[in-house]
Structure 1
């Protein structure tokens, strides 16, 4: 058993961020499961050796699960990865009815852990899952302890692991095999800034807003209205924000006219010498955060967003629209973080 390779099943796999990092660490990812059919082509294109299972785990039966994965129970070398969608506990709230769907996904995931008792369990989620009074996390942790899993968890900042963005997340590792399990240690790096990843000198040609790239490089940018182009043209390069035109009644957002205190990141530019903000599903839009290019009058491209998420340049994203692909990228766990998690388990 000691020399057998680790295996994993990536629940809520999305575009495959966790799968990518775990594979790089030498873990064989048996399958990825997701309810979102839009990520199927992306996942299968990049991970042909892993089976994509299009399913809602609320409805997925154990018989179906076993048929698709050929899993066996109490496998000491099996890792269950459960990075469930987290809109309900996120500070970036969507419509209540939509976010409600993600409220109890951790409990649904627990059903599979209970049935198959894998050797290891990984949870990555928004910080709110730890702090919310409505969170199922405490029940999940008690369940793991009662089933003889050693556990460690805390809130982490991904920039402290060499990820080029300010991204605070909840991380939990649990092991039924090892008496002690520890989270990966921070790996501080001076090379985790926007400039280190998406500078034009690194192969990102200058673009105008609305430029389309139909190759697999996907250096595609959303279009901008004339008003937004004027706003960006006035915004100071390398970290400027909307205060450049806050007193201009024609250009300021009406609710922010002469208001210099709130929502400074909206329409703001990234800084070359600092990590990017959290790459969300709306990173293609300058109106949804500090997603404007440090110098050019546009939002960052799809490929730039993927690179800031630490996907390789060769990673292929499939989708029918900018919105669809950006959603896959923004929802992913950065592969570099996934690799650190997987190595921690493999080395344990």
Structure 2
């Protein structure tokens, strides 16, 4: 990188012949990062039509296919995107919704439909036999690999001649200004090389490198609404939470600032100095941010308060910490829906590291 303040200054590996279809594409985090690496994104497939406008606005040249993967047939996809079987240049990407396998508390009833998505993705891989396959998910999919279908999928890939890399990676090692652990599988049948994401040399990108006034984020109060596409919009705080935050030390302060105050401390935290301290906490300037979840706009849901200002981080700040560029367009009808799209995304800079590794391998095979 030429500058840590612009996390997309890396130039793509030009003239790549790799083309991809991104299953469960959402708002395009994986697709965008792959494009930055030099991959030609043919299409993104997703059942959530709410992400269509965002995907189309940012993933130039790609088709958005609104489809339920349980109902989409291999032949339909083949005809719609003009795919060929046994194509060494084809990459199929599957970043299925991961709530069922997450350690974060979610409704099992709501998320149970996501548990079999890997098996549906397997169906398309078996049909097309692409040169490359990428799967990205939460680490829980590996911890429960038999139940998730991952173990069966890996064995099948290996039986078909794929060299398979699978591991949990820390995305801050790949230029993302955030601590986030993600399971990643990269399967390759073009060479006998085990491909892994290409890490970034040098120090990790921190909150200070991408946020703050020097990076174009003017100071704003809690509840600020930005009606421009920059979306420097932040949730409001009630009087009690504002008072809590006002006495929380800057640059990494926590709820311990008022843990002995019966009025200010939440009942479950009163006089409890041990245990989880990130809730109601501030980010540190000189560290990568904590994991950006779908609730990052609420400082009561994690260490999501601004390092200095008395507010949670804004939508655009959360997106930048996910490594989206500042001009990435988000089309959603509410703060919560925009935050959900951002928090669920594959960090584009991490996707770029995966894409570059695949392109490098492909060039070496020629």
Contact 1:161-1:189 within 8 A present in 2 as well: no
Aligned partner (choices 128, 135, 138) of residue 151 of structure 2: 138
Aligned counterpart, 2:61: 49
* 1:346 aligned onto 2:359: yes
Alignment of 1:195-234 (within 5 A): 195-234=208-247
Aligned counterpart, 2:313: 300
Please give the secondary structure, in 1, of the residue aligned with 2:65. strand
* 1:85 aligned onto 2:87: no
Q: Following TM superposition, by how much is the alpha carbon of 1:66 offset from its aligned partner in structure 2, in angstroms? A: 2.1
Contact 1:279-1:330 within 8 A present in 2 as well: yes
Please give the secondary structure, in 2, of the residue aligned with 1:122. strand
Contact 2:283-2:306 within 8 A present in 1 as well: yes
Please give the secondary structure, in 1, of the residue aligned with 2:209. helix
Distance across 1 between alignment mates of 2:60 and 2:346: 19
Please give the secondary structure, in 1, of the residue aligned with 2:316. helix
Contact 1:163-1:336 within 8 A present in 2 as well: yes
Deviation readout 1:24-50 (Å, 9 max, x if unpaired): 122110000111111111001112410
Alignment of 1:147-226 (within 5 A): 147-226=160-239
Deviation readout 1:119-164 (Å, 9 max, x if unpaired): 1001111111111252211011011011111111111111122211
Distance across 2 between alignment mates of 1:270 and 1:86: 25
Segments of structure 1 that go 5 or more residues without pairing to the other structure are none
Please give the secondary structure, in 1, of the residue aligned with 2:184. strand
Contact 2:26-2:48 within 8 A present in 1 as well: yes
Runs of 4+ residues over 6 Å off in structure 1: none
Aligned partner (choices 249, 259, 266) of residue 246 of structure 1: 259
* 1:72 aligned onto 2:64: no
Aligned counterpart, 2:120: 108
Distance across 2 between alignment mates of 1:189 and 1:171: 22
Contact 1:4-1:77 within 8 A present in 2 as well: no
Aligned counterpart, 1:60: 72
Q: Following TM superposition, by how much is the alpha carbon of 1:64 offset from its aligned partner in structure 2, in angstroms? A: 2.3
Summarize the Cα distance change of 1:4–1:232 in structure 2 as closer, same or farther, 3 Å threshold. closer
Which deviates more from structure 2 when the two are superposed, residues 175-184 or residues 217-226? 175-184
Please give the secondary structure, in 2, of the residue aligned with 1:279. coil
Please give the secondary structure, in 2, of the residue aligned with 1:108. helix
Q: Following TM superposition, by how much is the alpha carbon of 1:201 offset from its aligned partner in structure 2, in angstroms? A: 1.3
Distance across 2 between alignment mates of 1:244 and 1:25: 44
Distance across 1 between alignment mates of 2:354 and 2:216: 29
Structure 1 length as normaliser, TM-score?
0.97
Aligned counterpart, 1:277: 290
Q: Following TM superposition, by how much is the alpha carbon of 1:67 offset from its aligned partner in structure 2, in angstroms? A: 3.0
Distance across 2 between alignment mates of 1:229 and 1:163: 30
Deviation readout 1:241-269 (Å, 9 max, x if unpaired): 10111111111111111111122100100
Segments of structure 2 that go 5 or more residues without pairing to the other structure are 1-14, 362-366
Aligned partner (choices 21, 25, 30) of residue 42 of structure 2: 30
Q: Following TM superposition, by how much is the alpha carbon of 1:189 offset from its aligned partner in structure 2, in angstroms? A: 3.1
Contact 2:204-2:288 within 8 A present in 1 as well: no
Distance across 1 between alignment mates of 2:278 and 2:40: 40
Deviation readout 1:297-339 (Å, 9 max, x if unpaired): 1110000011111111111000000111111111111111111
Q: Following TM superposition, by how much is the alpha carbon of 1:55 offset from its aligned partner in structure 2, in angstroms? A: 1.1
Q: Following TM superposition, by how much is the alpha carbon of 1:191 offset from its aligned partner in structure 2, in angstroms? A: 4.8
Q: Following TM superposition, by how much is the alpha carbon of 1:56 offset from its aligned partner in structure 2, in angstroms? A: 1.4
Contact 1:53-1:68 within 8 A present in 2 as well: no
